[in-house]
Amino acid sequence: MFKERLKRIADYEWELPKGTKSCMKVPARLFLSEKLLKQVEDGAIEQIANVACLPGIQKHALAMPDMHFGYSHFFKVAAKGFL
């Protein structure tokens, strides 16, 4: 569900639009190749969408190429405004 909503911004940059989940305050940006994107679990993309829902987040939620699905949200996310 979430992978289908991604829009390519550049060769190694993808955006999950604000509104993919109703609580999203900002869009999410993923930085990885198309080859790596094919291997990413949909749950990992949902987790970056959840980070985009956090109070106080600004501009984008960011996910790096080593993103993966796990408990809570992954630690490689740089939530601008929190760091």
The 10s digit of each residue's pLDDT in 37-81 is 999 999 899 999 999 999 999 999 999 888 777 655 544 445 555
pLDDT tens, residue by residue, 26-39: 999 999 999 999 99
C-alpha distance from residue 76 to each of 20, 25, 67 (Å):
21, 19, 7
Six-digit token pair at 81?
């405004």
Domain range for 59 is 3-79
Phi, psi for residue 25 in degrees, rounded to 5: -90, -20
| Cβ-based neighbours of 21, under 8 Å, separated by 6 or more | 46, 49, 50, 52, 53
Q: Which pLDDT score is estimated for 72?
A: 54
Domain count, the chain: 1
Q: Which pLDDT score is estimated for 71?
A: 59
